[in-house]
Amino acid sequence: MKKLSLLKAIVDLLWIFSTPIILMLLGLSFAIFFVDPSEFNIKINTINFNEKDLLSKVLFAISSLNYLLIIAALYFFRKVLHYFTRIKIFEETVLKLFQKIGNLLMLSGFISLSISIIGEIYFKQKITLAFGLNQHLVIICLGLFFLVLSEIFKIAISTKQENDLTI
């Protein structure tokens, strides 16, 4: 149980630090279309942001919304950990939360991968193929892991219900 409380404390700390960033990102995403952001040095996935180009403004707004998807997944993970600390592991809501987390992380991974590819092609005018582990694939794999975990919990919930019915 110590490991679970440590994990919950770390996730809660991440949540506390990320909530003010949500408001800043939303404000900056909308302001970028109306205010001249030339005094800011903004980067999108290690690519410098061009304040005069509409595509770079759109990519920045999409990147900000993508960050919000990850924050939403973190929020749902907090809820799962709350159920775990109350020893309500095999609940239907835990199963649904795992599915939500998996879908959000998969969507976020594909969006960030798309932004990275579009940014490389548009801003650097080059196409590179690199083999290895990158953050986009890790997020996609983490999303798939949560979807598999939801399927495992679905099997465990049905087995628990069968066991509860037997004498």
Domain boundaries, the chain: 2-165
Run of H or E including 26: helix 2-31
| 53: pLDDT strictly greater than 80 | no
In our burial notation (b when 16+ CB lie closer than 10 A, e otherwise), range 132-151 reads eeeebeebbebbeebbebbe
Per-chain mean pLDDT for the chain: 84
Dihedral through CA 23, CA 24, CA 27, CA 31, nearest 10? Answer: -170
| pLDDT tens for each residue of 64-80 | 888 899 999 999 999 99
Return the top range by mean pLDDT from 1-10, 33-42, 49-58, 121-130.
Answer: 1-10
The whole-model pTM stands at 0.82
Contact indicator for 67, 105 with CB cutoff of 8 Å: no
Residue 144: pLDDT band with limits 50, 70, 90: very high
128 or 24: whose pLDDT is higher? 24
Mean pLDDT of 30-40: 63
